Amino acid sequence: MNKKTILITGATEGLGKLTAIDLANRFKDSILLVHGRNKEKLDAVWQEITLKTGHRHIETWQADFSSLKEVRNMAEEILKKHSSLDILVNNAGAGFAAPRLGKDGLETRMTVNFLALYLLTQLLLPALFQADSARIVNVASAGQSAIDFQDMMMEKNFDGVTAYTRSKLAVILFTFALAETLKEKTITVNCLHPGSYLDTGMVREAGISPMGTAQSGADAIVYLATAPQLEHITGKYFNVKKEAQAHAQAYDPNARKKLNQFAQRLTGI
């Protein structure tokens, strides 16, 4: 159980970093891949995880997820180095206060929160297939808004909060669709709302007073990634550690189809 390969995106601070520390403690002999967009922060988190856990098999991977080219390059390099992947935690995200446009000139929240997650996961599926039993955990949110498929990038009437909540619903739609596609495989795919307004940089940057600890959110992520009772549970949305109902659009097959067509068109997958 200890010899796993684990990738956590957005792992230089907040929930991602705490999740990485917890998984490093749980799986001492694992290969831990931590992703971030800033080299200095990656170097610092590598040192922090090493000092706190004694873990000696940590790799840092740098990519700006507002650039789909950087996501693709990172995935390709990971596949060259690692033939199998046991746990993928898609945690990287852009919040309310992020710049409107990212490196690709696309709306930042939909790009970072959904398109990058979609592209990375699809590209890493060959490695996930090689694991005896793999888990994909997608960090979503209780903040969900119906997606307007006629204006995916919110070129009309842009609002950062709505852009965020739509992108997080897209994560849930993708989770459900991928779980259905992989239902005959030994890969589970689940998503979660880790908690409301936790004490993270994303929340503080939005000018919101935190209501909960980042550690509680990390605990929920680790639960989905490791709990034995979830071994065969797939295609579910969790409110922290409890299975819950997502926005009604998440259960609409036509909406899933439209979202997949949108993602395929922009990612080439």
Q: What is the pLDDT of residue 203?
A: 57
- What is the full DSSP assignment across 79-106? HHH-S--SEEEE-----TTS-SB-TTSS
Instruction: Report the C-alpha gap between 20 and 22 in whole angstroms.
Output: 5
Give the CA distances from residue 188 to residues 71, 124, 158, 167, 199, in Å, rounded to whole numbers and listed in that order: 22, 14, 35, 21, 29
**CA 44 – CA 13 distance, rounded (Å):** 10
The mean pLDDT of 96-110, rounded to a whole number, is: 95
- Which amino acid is residue 38, in one-letter code? N
pLDDT (tens digit, 9 = 90+) per residue, 202-231?
Answer: 655 666 665 668 899 999 999 999 999 999
Task: Please classify residue 51 by burial: count the beta carbons closer than 10 Å to its beta carbon, then call 0-12 exposed, 13-18 middle and 19+ buried.
Answer: exposed
Q: What is the mean pLDDT of residues 8-14?
A: 97
Q: What is the mean pLDDT of residues 102-115?
A: 97
**Domain range summary for the chain, segments of one domain joined by +:** 5-267
State how far the Cα of 254 lies from the Cα of 8, in Å rounded to an integer. Answer: 31
The H or E element containing residue 191 is strand 187-193
Q: What is the mean pLDDT of residues 173-187?
A: 97
Give this prediction's pTM: 0.95
β-strand 236-239 against 242-244: which pairing, if any? antiparallel
Burial bucket for residue 122 (CB in 10 Å: 0-12, 13-18, 19+):
middle
- H-helix segments, 35-86: 39-53, 68-81
Q: Is 5-267 CATH 1.10.10.10?
A: no
pLDDT at 210 (0 to 100): 56
**pLDDT per residue over 130-141, tens digit each?**
999 999 999 999
